[in-house]
Structure 1
Amino acid sequence: MAGPVSSCEILRGSPSLTPEANTEILKALNRSGVHLEESVQGAPNWKQTQKVALLHTAVYFPEFVRAPKWRANAVAFLEGQLHDSTYPDGGYWEATDGYARAYASRYVGIALFMGEHGIEFSATTKAKLRELARFLMDQTFPNGQGPVYGDSEPQDLRSTLRRLGELLGDEELIHVGTSGASGQEPGHTSSLYPDTRVAVSRSGWTAEDSYLRLNADRGNHSHADELGITAYAFGRPLLPDMGTFNYSSDPRAQWLRKSTEAHNTIEIDNRAQDSTAAGAITHMVTNPVFDLIGARTEASQGALHERSVLSLSSGLWVVSDRLKPADGAAHRYEQNWHFASAASPSLGSGRKAATTAFGDGANISVVPADPGKVSASLRDGHYAPAMYRVESAEYASYVKTAAGRTTFDTLLLPSSGAAGPSVTVERIPVGSTPTHQATALGLGLGERGDAVYYKSWTTRAPRSFGSYTFDGKLLYARTGAAGQSIVMVDGTSIERDGAILVMSPEPVKDLAVRIGADGTVHIDGSGLTASVDPARAIAIAAPAAAEVVLNGTPVPFHRDGRLIYAAAAR
């Protein structure tokens, strides 16, 4: 009806418009209004369009007897529709950022039109629109582009976020929508949407910051990409979603939209996932230095897939996958990592690391932990940089066939320039504990130094691996020329070669310790309070400590030999 309403404005001054023709047009508009008052159909964006047409008819043709009821009906429906089309956490019901952007943007236009004619959305509806707007903001790449999940294409979301911010008086939306030129920087970085089943880890809001998105979402326009990862760093999507191309039966479009193989996740037994199956983001631990995300999906008939991602704000990701088959038979597991068509990836023959070689700017190394247990190859795929465009693109494929529980551990290491050729990952045995219960890796990070990574898939228990003994759920410890750092989740004790690195009287939910070459010790963690009491404070090995900063604030510390005490878990 938006078309006929606009046409009336054009035709009403035309000498060709007879009274009889005008009457028939008005009758048709009235019949359409009566129909749209009672009936809408289709997806949320279709229903939105139909009720907007009814609202326009009511506003521009107040002479219709039912115009006041149409106006009230349209506004009430649009308010209810906004609530019905979003999850309680604010995420959009359809699993696509393209449709989410268009849907939210249309509400800006609706609100402005209503305001011109003395109509307003309720405060509750404005609050819901703000939730949807912030969901879009949190999904956005650091450079302002959309992450291209589901049926979508690369789009700049900044103008939409700016308009939403101006409409709602939200300075954080304005900040992201103007690339920091106006407004106020968001007070958070990472975000969890448990109802929408999406988690985003980011180091900040500038174009050079790092970003990783992990999803277990579902809904209209979703792809078979449960537990899929999209990653961005140093100004570029390094592990992108490969896009949509179009909705036709073209084999390339079908591969992009319908196959699991076309996404950064694991395909089981050569079959696409069922994205309507049960799944969840099971947990997200956030800290200024790192995020830890856990997720699970039953989307593959052959096995339960669990994925854990350690995301460091310094720009490094470690991905641990665990597969739990429903039977004792052997299953084929294919872990895939996708790159843009200009990435020029190569695959090392020994460590089987996949590295990109863009002509300039950022690159990434994908390094598996057990190269001898997987078949690795670069395979031919497709990449849609925009709707109705498709290009050839190679991707890295790691395949294993196994019976019983099995795992993949993978280092994803972005770099601002050429990918580091000396990056290595070595498996460290955790006694006789199988990798589906606990996994440990030695990481050679080139100029960044060396690190040890440990993850327990089970309850907390003291375990030894290499020179370390640890009783928590996750540990990452790095040493390098710039200093050393420790990341710990849900633990009390870390020892190296029998010497205490960290010891807490109480379990610590999340802890990050960074010891600089200048003697400054940064301690970050949830629920930590300043304390120099050795009976309740956390002991940290920092023999050269000169200053301690706890969650951004300088605090006093007590020294006892090589240990310092400055913070306690509540």
Structure 2
Amino acid sequence: MPKLASAYLTESDPAKRAAYAKAWMDISLDFFADNQSWPQGRNLSAAKRLAQLVSTFSVFRADPGIDAGDLVAYLSGVHATTNYLVGVLPVHFGNNWYMSMARSVHAAAVFLPEFSAASGWEWFAMRSAERFLRTWLKGDGVYREPAFNYQAYVADMLNSVIALAQSNGRAVPDALVQGADWIADSLFATRQPNLEPAAIGDTPNDTAGTSAIRRSGVRNSWSDFTWVASGRTHGTVPTLSSTVFPISFAVQRSGWDADARYMLINNQNTSYTASHRHPDDLSLVMAAYGRPLIVDSGVGDYSATPTNEWMRRQTEAHNTVEVDGEPQAKSVPRTTSRWRSNAGLDIYRGAAMGYRPVEHDRVVYFVKPGFWVVSDALTGDTAAHKYRQLWHFPGDPVTVNSTTKAATVGFDTVPGAAPVAGVRLIPVATSGAAVTPPGSTTMAPYGSASGCSPTSTSCRTTGPPAGRRDWTRSWFPARPARRPR
């Protein structure tokens, strides 16, 4: 619909303009004809379509080819659809659909204040947004859905409401502005050196969060936000170093240049258990010297293919510890118990209970600026379990030294040649553990639209832990001999 409106505004041929206006009306009336007959699963689509139709009303309504009777039918459709969304909104309180629907109700109220119900719609939309933020914005400022894509989407919906209200002289509750800025702050702080979000949870969009960061930067004159959102072309270089959001995640970084060393530790404690959550507690994402080195498989799309189901539903798809070949459980406690950061060293410690009674405790040390030490402890049960410490690489070749068990990941390696210096995984010897190179029969097939390929190593043990199993790995990223093209 925005493309149709843009084409209409830029077209000088009256016949083409009339055709565009007719198409807009035909699409609108066809949509409204389905009002209240669509299934609950289409409420989000309905809300998005309503927002588009309402925002383009001012573009097409005065076209001389628009029939007056059709305009009446259009306005009746807007009224009925908005009332319908008001009625079903509470059903979707726990996720981003709620904010999208509230945004659409608000848009109908502001764009068409002539409706007698408009003032009530506007009040309802604002109060709904405030209630949503009070309930689902966590104490560290991170929105509850554990996926950067949907955290960004909620911020975008808030900013849409704020912009429309302010441009029409409406008061905006402080909570909405604060909520949008808090979410943008977490999106800003977790940006990778390439200024993209890490592919945590359902995050298929590599620009997710850019708009939210930009808008908060402009609103608050935060020049470092502008620098990130503009791709390093405007604003000032951020001074924020390593940081923690204690209910959600931590970032260890050497700086903000494109070659910076970066590690995201994901451990989002949330009651959200629906589709956008992945079983990825205490998973890591790492980048250095202009390249992703340890990657999350992310998400391709939402079709129920074996690959997509594996990426979204299996702990094996993430850089954490898997127990007994099963995915981590939902709705379990996750905690951050230690954070220290100074010029020479960062320390993160967190725990997750995805395999009760087994507790996974992970400590990540960043010895600046050169390497990381990752230490895992599995405690809480004396029964025998199979543990796998999983690492995923972005398609680079991997070799494992049969004596030291150190794994070397190629970095700009020419196909068929031995891997050049890239990143090295150096295990501390643990009885019963083994480093398994790509292609091992213990590994499931790896692959995703985000760039993961069948190249992964895993550490596993099948013996009884005798109350505790410890693994420690050191990661050494090395500058490539030549920069990747």
Q: Common fold, TM-score beyond 0.5?
A: yes
Q: 1:409: Cα distance to partner?
A: 0.9
Give 1:417's aligned residue. Answer: 480
CA distance in structure 1 between the aligned counterparts of 2:71 and 2:232, rounded to whole angstroms: 52
The verdict on how the C-alpha distance between 1:198 and 1:407 changes in structure 2, with shifts beyond 3 A counting, is: same
Alignment of 1:145-160 (within 5 A): 145-153=196-204, 155-156=206-207, 157-160=209-212
**Pairing partner for 2:344 from 267, 283, 289:** 289
CA distance in structure 2 between the aligned counterparts of 1:391 and 1:210, rounded to whole angstroms: 20
Q: 1:280: Cα distance to partner?
A: 0.8
Greater share of residues in strand: 1
CA distance in structure 2 between the aligned counterparts of 1:7 and 1:112, rounded to whole angstroms: 16
Question: Is residue 322–residue 388 contact of structure 2 (8 Å, CA) maintained in 1?
Answer: yes
Secondary structure of the structure 1 residue equivalent to 2:454: strand
The verdict on how the C-alpha distance between 1:239 and 1:178 changes in structure 2, with shifts beyond 3 A counting, is: same
Alignment of 1:141-540 (within 5 A): 141-153=192-204, 155-156=206-207, 157-195=209-247, 197-217=248-268, 218=270, 219=272, 220=274, 221-301=276-356, 303-326=358-381, 328-341=382-395, 343-359=396-412, 363-370=422-429, 373-380=432-439, 381-386=445-450, 392-403=453-464, 404=466, 405-417=468-480
**Pairing partner for 1:139 from 168, 190, 201:** 190
Question: Is residue 233–residue 362 contact of structure 1 (8 Å, CA) maintained in 2?
Answer: no
CA distances 1:365-403 after superposition (whole Å, capped 9, x unpaired): 0111116632221245424344xxx76321001111232
Q: 1:333: Cα distance to partner?
A: 0.9
Secondary structure of the structure 1 residue equivalent to 2:355: coil
Give 1:75's aligned residue. Answer: 126
Secondary structure of the structure 1 residue equivalent to 2:128: helix
Give 2:442's aligned residue. Answer: none
CA distance in structure 1 between the aligned counterparts of 2:447 and 2:165, rounded to whole angstroms: 41
Question: Is residue 352–residue 371 contact of structure 1 (8 Å, CA) maintained in 2?
Answer: no
Greater share of residues in helix: 2
1:263 alignment partner AA: H
Question: Is residue 351–residue 371 contact of structure 1 (8 Å, CA) maintained in 2?
Answer: no
Q: Is 2:165 the counterpart of 1:106? A: no
Secondary structure of the structure 2 residue equivalent to 1:309: strand
Give 2:16's aligned residue. Answer: none
The verdict on how the C-alpha distance between 1:165 and 1:411 changes in structure 2, with shifts beyond 3 A counting, is: same
Q: Percent identity?
A: 26
Q: 1:84: Cα distance to partner?
A: 3.1
Question: Is residue 374–residue 472 contact of structure 2 (8 Å, CA) maintained in 1?
Answer: yes
CA distance in structure 2 between the aligned counterparts of 1:355 and 1:166, rounded to whole angstroms: 44
Q: 1:329: Cα distance to partner?
A: 2.2
Q: 1:203: Cα distance to partner?
A: 1.6
CA distance in structure 2 between the aligned counterparts of 1:391 and 1:351, rounded to whole angstroms: 26
CA distances 1:398-442 after superposition (whole Å, capped 9, x unpaired): 1112321111011111011269xxxxxxxxxxxxxxxxxxxxxxx
CA distance in structure 2 between the aligned counterparts of 1:159 and 1:208, rounded to whole angstroms: 24
1:70 alignment partner AA: W
Gapped regions of structure 2 (runs ≥ 5): 1-49, 414-419, 440-444
Query: Would you say how many aligned residue pairs link Structure 1 and Structure 2?
Result: 413
Q: Is 2:166 the counterpart of 1:115? A: yes
The verdict on how the C-alpha distance between 1:19 and 1:182 changes in structure 2, with shifts beyond 3 A counting, is: closer
Q: 1:11: Cα distance to partner?
A: 5.5
Gapped regions of structure 1 (runs ≥ 5): 420-570
Is the deviation greater in 294-303 or in 259-268? 294-303
Question: Is residue 240–residue 338 contact of structure 1 (8 Å, CA) maintained in 2?
Answer: yes
Q: 1:306: Cα distance to partner?
A: 0.7
Question: Is residue 226–residue 275 contact of structure 1 (8 Å, CA) maintained in 2?
Answer: no
1:194 alignment partner AA: P
CA distance in structure 2 between the aligned counterparts of 1:185 and 1:120, rounded to whole angstroms: 33
Q: Is 2:82 the counterpart of 1:33? A: yes
CA distance in structure 1 between the aligned counterparts of 2:452 and 2:235, rounded to whole angstroms: 38
Secondary structure of the structure 2 residue equivalent to 1:393: coil
The verdict on how the C-alpha distance between 1:2 and 1:123 changes in structure 2, with shifts beyond 3 A counting, is: closer
Question: Is residue 294–residue 393 contact of structure 2 (8 Å, CA) maintained in 1?
Answer: yes
2:304 alignment partner AA: S
Give 2:45's aligned residue. Answer: none
CA distance in structure 2 between the aligned counterparts of 1:318 and 1:242, rounded to whole angstroms: 22
CA distance in structure 1 between the aligned counterparts of 2:296 and 2:421, rounded to whole angstroms: 17
Q: 1:236: Cα distance to partner?
A: 1.5
1:216 alignment partner AA: N
Secondary structure of the structure 1 residue equivalent to 2:316: coil
2:245 alignment partner AA: Y
CA distance in structure 2 between the aligned counterparts of 1:23 and 1:10, rounded to whole angstroms: 16
Q: 1:243: Cα distance to partner?
A: 1.5
Is the deviation greater in 141-150 or in 365-374? 365-374
Q: Larger Cα Rg: Structure 1 or Structure 2?
A: 1
2:181 alignment partner AA: R
1:289 alignment partner AA: G
CA distance in structure 2 between the aligned counterparts of 1:362 and 1:104, rounded to whole angstroms: 40
CA distance in structure 1 between the aligned counterparts of 2:63 and 2:235, rounded to whole angstroms: 48
CA distance in structure 1 between the aligned counterparts of 2:103 and 2:80, rounded to whole angstroms: 16
Root-mean-square deviation over aligned CA pairs:
2.5
CA distance in structure 2 between the aligned counterparts of 1:32 and 1:203, rounded to whole angstroms: 51
The verdict on how the C-alpha distance between 1:143 and 1:337 changes in structure 2, with shifts beyond 3 A counting, is: same
CA distances 1:141-183 after superposition (whole Å, capped 9, x unpaired): 0220111100112513545422321123322322332354433
2:227 alignment partner AA: H
The verdict on how the C-alpha distance between 1:13 and 1:159 changes in structure 2, with shifts beyond 3 A counting, is: closer
2:127 alignment partner AA: A
Question: Is residue 224–residue 272 contact of structure 1 (8 Å, CA) maintained in 2?
Answer: yes
